[in-house]
Amino acid sequence: MNYLREDQLLNIETYLNQKDLTQIDLRNEVLDHIANGIETKMDSENRSFEEAFSKEVITWNKELGNYSSWWLGIAWIGPKIMMKKCVEILKHFYFKMLLFTLLSTLILYLLLQFVGDVLAFSNIDKLFGLLFFASSMILCYFGYQINTTKYKTSFSFLFNRHYFPFILFYLVINPFVLETHSIFKEDKINIMVLAHNTLAVSNMAFSYFLLKSHMQVKKIKMA
């Protein structure tokens, strides 16, 4: 069995750099697959490293080519294998967020209808306002934690894509700042605003999941 030398592995590293695959949760795995594919071709097809490398990267060019998705926003482009992983993470968590939003909105709506107290409506608005201000500060902290690790993952890519817009949302679309975003309007409960607010709160669980997963990748790689 032919095993690749360090300089040959460096050629693969250079190829991955050219393809902008910098996320360590995928990079090392892809590097191993490419190296194994080259070693197999060198043995079974009696090829030189250069020949085996050229043939192997043809297989990977499609998976590592630039790719965008409506799920992530078409302005965000990256290696196809990484972007597709991000889409799968997003779909999985969005389903949970949607379920949480529907249940929470229904419970809060029924509770407020039962109470029927203007003071209760006002307090709910204040609660969301405080939660939004606190969430913006927590997101800043999460962003600092992730971006000072000096390594990238699929999870940090997803986090950096969405955390700044949500900080702006928490600060601007806030019941303390924007009266039109009150859940109580014209003596009625605005269920759309209520649902929107609970969805925004559930985003914090997603942000924490991304932070935790990003940190966990490094621990696994070092183990």
User: How high is the pLDDT of residue 223?
Assistant: 45
Q: Read off the DSSP letter of residue 184.
A: E
Angle at 149 between CA 146 and CA 154, to 5 degrees: 60
Percent of the chain scoring above 70 in pLDDT: 93
Residues spanned by the domain of 110 = 82-222
Those residues whose C-beta lies under 8 Å from the C-beta of residue 196, and which sit 6 or more positions away, are: none
Quote the pLDDT of residue 82.
96
- Do residues 54 and 108 share a domain? no
Domain tally for the chain? 2
Whole-number pLDDT of residue 122: 73
Q: Is there a single domain that holds both residue 22 and residue 118? A: no
Q: Which of 208, 142, 127, 135 is nearest to 171 (CA)?
A: 135
pLDDT at position 119: 63
- For 35-74, the pLDDT digits (tens) are 999 999 888 888 889 999 999 999 899 999 999 999 888 8
Give the mean pLDDT of 143-156.
Answer: 94
C-alpha to C-alpha distance for 110 and 160, rounded to whole angstroms: 36
Do 97 and 161 lie in one domain? The reply is yes
Q: Out of 43-47, 144-148, 154-158, 213-217, which region has the weakest mean confidence (pLDDT)?
A: 43-47
pLDDT digits (tens, 9 = 90+) for 1-40: 557 889 999 999 999 999 999 999 999 999 999 999 999 9
Give me Rg for the CA atoms of the chain.
Answer: 24
Which residue shows structure tokens 């990238």?
152
The secondary structure of residue 149, as a DSSP letter, is S
Give the 3-state secondary structure of residue 46: coil
- The pLDDT of 184-195, averaged and rounded, is 81
pTM of the entire structure? Answer: 0.85
70 part of a folded domain? no
Q: Which of 30-44, 66-80, 139-153, 170-184 has the lowest mean pLDDT?
A: 170-184
* Residues 70, 40: Cα–Cα separation, whole Å: 37
Quote the tokens at residue 220.
Answer: 């696994």
Same domain? 150 vs 109: yes
Return the HEC string of 47-88.
CCHHHHHHHHHHHHHHHCCEECCCCCCCCCCEEHHHHHHHHH
